[in-house]
Amino acid sequence: MEALTGATLIDVVTGRPLSDAVILVRDGHIVAVGAADAVPVPRGADVSDLRGRWIVPGFIDAHTHLQPWGLGVALRYGVTAVRDLHEGTTLADTLRAVAARAPAPRLFLAVAMLDGLPTTYPDAWPVLSPDSADAAVGRLVERGAAWVKVYTRITPDVLEAIVNAARVRQLPVAAHLGLTDAITAADLGVTSVEHLSGVPEAAGDSTMLFAAHAQGFFPGWTAFERSWSTLDTAALAVVARELAARRVFLVPTLVLHETLSRLDDSSIYHSADLRRVPDSARRDWNVAGMIKRAGWTRADFAAFRAARPSQDFVLRTFVASGGRVAAGTDASNQLLVPGASLHTEMELLVRAGLSSLTALRAATSWAADLLRADSLGRLRPGAAADLVVLGADPLADIRNTRQVVRVMLGGKWVGP
Ligand SMILES: [Zn+2]
């Protein structure tokens, strides 16, 4: 039996801090949580005195593409679970093997994304017609996928068949939309919409945007980001409210939007977090090569920055209308450091107008809701003992989530 004593526990569900809390842990799970006078510490328990600290549930990154090196890095930043939305069959096996050997975040894998032709990534699986959706989803299940990820070239008729095939197998569907707008996707029953994709397509004239998505990933992304600042606030508010009413999760990955909008800003190439990234991974990033492939200019980056207030507005409206957001990052794609980028995401959620508590929920309880992982994201009896000890109060300032003092995963201290 392990006893954690003296810290202030943040209950992310009620938002209430519980000072001088006791958490009892046995066999990887929490067995009791409460105030010191209500939960006695059993004799012989291994006591960790955490006076002057704060405790929150382990963080969940709801949108990653990790390489093996990223698992340990994410954990040091307090990330104890990730939803990895496409890694390809070989990398999926490797990630599982690495996670079996050393402490790593819990893995919820999509294995291979489903896309139209030509697929954006060579290891994605093409689904060309509704008839072939069921077989593709069946193969994902055989490969141990916990999620179905659909990509930008999936059309509404194929998406409908994929969602139905996934539903039969109890699999949720994550959508990075291109040729389908977000309201249509929500109506068809996708579980989460990634990157706020499909929102401009639902709020304005989608003809030009669909044509850009059909050309390829970068033309699609560029036109999508450029469109935000041209849309009416009223139209965006309607879409945000309609999405909230349909109970779809948004995984906005603001840190991805923000990072791609600042590629002409030299300061983002010098953040201290980048020291955690191996040289080989930095070379693979080849940011200059990506900018060249995308054909992005200073005018594009300025337009991407101009999109950010509209994206924040959609998020605020969505949450105010009862919608749930999960924090995700797209790490370890270019400049997005596993774990570190999730703290930036929480900070950006607060900058978008959400409360610190809401940002914490997005990275804990709401992300667990998205994963349908009842044992994660909340510190209560029966839950997995995944938690983070912080050196400062995250409700006072969300940037304090970065002050990770200790990380517990499945009842074991694993870092940092
Ligand atoms: Zn992604």
Q: Which amino acid is at 27?
A: D
Backbone angles phi, psi at 347, to 5 degrees: -65, -40
Query: How many Å lie between the centroid of ligand 1 and the Cα of residue 253?
Result: 9
- Note the pLDDT of residue 14: 94
Query: What b/e sequence results for 118-157 when a residue is b if at least 16 CB atoms lie within 10 Å of its CB, and e otherwise?
Result: ebbeeebbebeebebbbebbeebbeeebbbbbbbbbbbee
Distance 43 CA to ligand 1 centre (A): 48
Per-residue pLDDT of the chain (416 residues; tens, 9 = 90+): 999 999 999 999 999 999 999 999 999 999 999 999 999 999 999 999 999 999 999 999 999 999 999 999 999 999 999 999 999 999 999 999 999 999 999 999 999 999 999 999 999 999 999 999 999 999 999 999 999 999 999 999 999 999 999 999 999 999 999 999 999 999 999 999 999 999 999 999 999 999 999 999 999 999 999 999 999 999 999 999 999 999 999 999 999 999 999 999 999 999 999 999 999 999 999 999 999 999 999 999 999 999 999 999 999 999 999 999 999 999 999 999 999 999 999 999 999 999 999 999 999 999 999 999 999 999 999 999 999 999 999 999 999 999 999 999 999 999 87
Dist. CA 242 → ligand 1 center (Å): 24
Q: How far apart are CA 97 and CA 1, in angstroms?
A: 29
Cα of 265 from ligand 1 centre, angstroms = 22
d(CA 163, CA 174): 10
Residue 88: left (phi > 0), alpha (psi -120 to 50), or beta?
left
Q: How far is the CA of 380 from the centre of ligand 1 (A)?
A: 31
HSE-CB for 3 with a 13 A CA cutoff: 19
Helix intervals (H) in 111-216 = 133-142, 156-168, 182-188, 199-203, 207-215
Distance (angstroms) between ligand 1 centre and the Cα of 410 equals: 27
Residues 6+ apart with CB under 8 A from 346: 327, 359, 360, 362, 363, 398, 401
Name the residue among 235, 114, 233 with its Cα closest to residue 181.
235
C-alpha R_g of the chain: 21
pLDDT at 351: 98
pLDDT, residue 416, reads 78
Q: Which residue ranges form the domains of the chain, and what is each CATH number? A: 1-58+377-416 (2.30.40.10), 63-374 (3.20.20.140)
257 Cα–ligand 1 center, Å: 12
Query: H helices within 42-197, ranges in order?
Result: 68-76, 89-101, 133-142, 156-168, 182-188
Give the bridge partners for 404, in sequence order.
390
Q: How far is the CA of 273 from the centre of ligand 1 (A)?
A: 20
Give the integer Cα–Cα distance in Å for 416 and 77: 7
Map residue 162 onto helix, strand or coil.
Answer: helix
Local structure of 362: helix, strand or coil: helix
**How many Å lie between the centroid of ligand 1 and the Cα of residue 202?**
21
Q: In what order do the strands lie in the sheet with 387-390?
A: 17-18, 8-10, 54-57, 387-390, 404-409, 412-415
Strand, helix or coil at 227? helix
Cα 260–Cα 82–Cα 76 angle in degrees, nearest 5: 85
Compute, in angstroms, the gap from residue 168 CA to the centroid of ligand 1: 25
Distance 354 CA to ligand 1 centre (A): 23
Burial tier of 300 (Cβ tally within 10 Å: 0-12, 13-18, 19+): buried
Ligand 1 center–CA 356 separation, angstroms: 25
Nearest partner of 58 among 330, 389, 343, judged by Cα: 389
For ligand 1, the distance from its centroid to the CA atom of residue 120, given in whole angstroms, is: 12
**How does strand 106-109 pair with strand 125-126?**
unpaired
Q: What residue has token string 């059909």?
A: 214
Say how many Å lie between the CA of residue 174 and the centre of ligand 1.
Answer: 10
Spatial distance between the Cα atoms of 404 and 416, rounded to a whole number of angstroms: 7
How close is the Cα of 99 to the center of ligand 1, in Å? 21
β-strand 2-5 against 46-49: which pairing, if any? parallel
Structure tokens that stand for 125 in this block: 């699986």
Report pLDDT for 241.
98
Å from CA of 112 to ligand 1 middle: 12
Tell how far the Cα of 62 is from the centroid of ligand 1, in angstroms: 10
CA of 85 to the centre of ligand 1 (A): 6
Q: How far is the CA of 330 from the centre of ligand 1 (A)?
A: 5
* Rounded Cα distance, 334 and 275, in Å: 14
Torsion 204-190-210-111 (CA) sign: positive
β-sheet bridge partners, residue 56: 388
